[in-house]
Amino acid sequence: MWRRIIWLPVILLVGWFLVEQLPGWFAPPPPWTRYPDLLALPGGCQAANALRLFAAARGATNATGMSAEQAQAATIVVLETQYPNARFTFALSPELVRGSFGDTALAWFSVATFERDDATAPASAIVFLDGQSGEPLSVITVLGAGAEGADGVCGSFAPQPRGWSAVLRPYLPLLALAGYVSMVAIGAGVVWLRQKKANSRG
């Protein structure tokens, strides 16, 4: 009976670990850890999240027949149509990504920043073009100024500063389990040594 009581905390802690912690180990990494270079751009958090929403990965092989220069020219046309009279520059020139974009798997992804002539002007725009035709797939307007990753204004997408206590907190039950098992092992060792001495005297 006492052996069952000893193992009960172990079973409970292992169950907690399997339910609460193990799934997080296999969860996809947050977008800001996958694309840290985006965080320095205006609209970088939204751009990283847009890639996540489209399940898109950067660095796709160009098999579309459209060059990056052609994609940039097509993006300029889309931006000039979407935002007439607005002056913009590319914070991130078009690059090919692979993801789930409806009927196509390849898209040209870019981020443009606008000159802030007035407070109503957007800060930036995130553009996805069809990898084959160059037709716009999605244009996302980002309001507000500043590099959100640097200013920490990323909302729920922002990486939060974490000290050692915050890093270790999810593993406290596991550490407690390790300490408990160590104490049980030490206790069992002491009992075994005492029994061994008693047997040798007998």
93 and 71 assigned to the same domain: yes
Residue 88 has a CB neighbour count (10 Å cut-off) of 17
In this predicted structure, what is the pLDDT of residue 146?
A: 45
Does residue 97 lie in a domain region?
yes
Does residue 7 lie in a domain region?
yes
51 and 151 assigned to the same domain: yes
In this predicted structure, what is the pLDDT of residue 160?
A: 46
In the chain, the number of structural domains is 2
59 and 19 assigned to the same domain: no
Is the Cα torsion angle 190, 192, 193, 195 positive or negative in sign? positive
55 and 134 assigned to the same domain: yes
60 and 145 assigned to the same domain: yes
Q: Walk across the sheet containing 57-58 and list its strands.
A: 57-58, 88-101, 104-114, 124-130, 136-142
Residue 108 has a CB neighbour count (10 Å cut-off) of 28
pLDDT (tens, 9 = 90+) of the chain, 202 residues, equals 556 666 667 676 777 667 666 666 666 655 556 677 887 788 888 888 888 889 888 878 877 778 999 999 999 999 999 998 888 999 999 999 999 998 888 999 999 999 877 666 688 999 999 998 899 999 999 886 444 444 444 554 444 445 565 566 666 666 776 777 777 778 777 777 777 777 776 5
Look up residue 117 and give its DSSP letter: S
Does residue 163 lie in a domain region?
no
In this predicted structure, what is the pLDDT of residue 178?
A: 73
In this predicted structure, what is the pLDDT of residue 137?
A: 94
Does residue 133 lie in a domain region?
yes
46 and 93 assigned to the same domain: yes
Does residue 60 lie in a domain region?
yes
In this predicted structure, what is the pLDDT of residue 150?
A: 40
- Residue 175's domain spans which residues? 2-26+168-201
142 bridge partner residues:
124
133 and 39 assigned to the same domain: yes
Element housing 74 (H / E): helix 68-82
Q: Whole-prediction pTM value? A: 0.60
12 and 82 assigned to the same domain: no
CA–CA separation, 112 and 92 (whole Å): 7
In this predicted structure, what is the pLDDT of residue 30?
A: 58
Does residue 61 lie in a domain region?
yes
In this predicted structure, what is the pLDDT of residue 153?
A: 44
CA-based R_g, the chain, Å: 28
127 and 177 assigned to the same domain: no
In this predicted structure, what is the pLDDT of residue 39?
A: 77
Does residue 162 lie in a domain region?
no
- Phi-psi region at 23: left, alpha or beta (left = phi > 0; alpha = psi -120 to 50): alpha
In this predicted structure, what is the pLDDT of residue 151?
A: 40
In this predicted structure, what is the pLDDT of residue 149?
A: 42
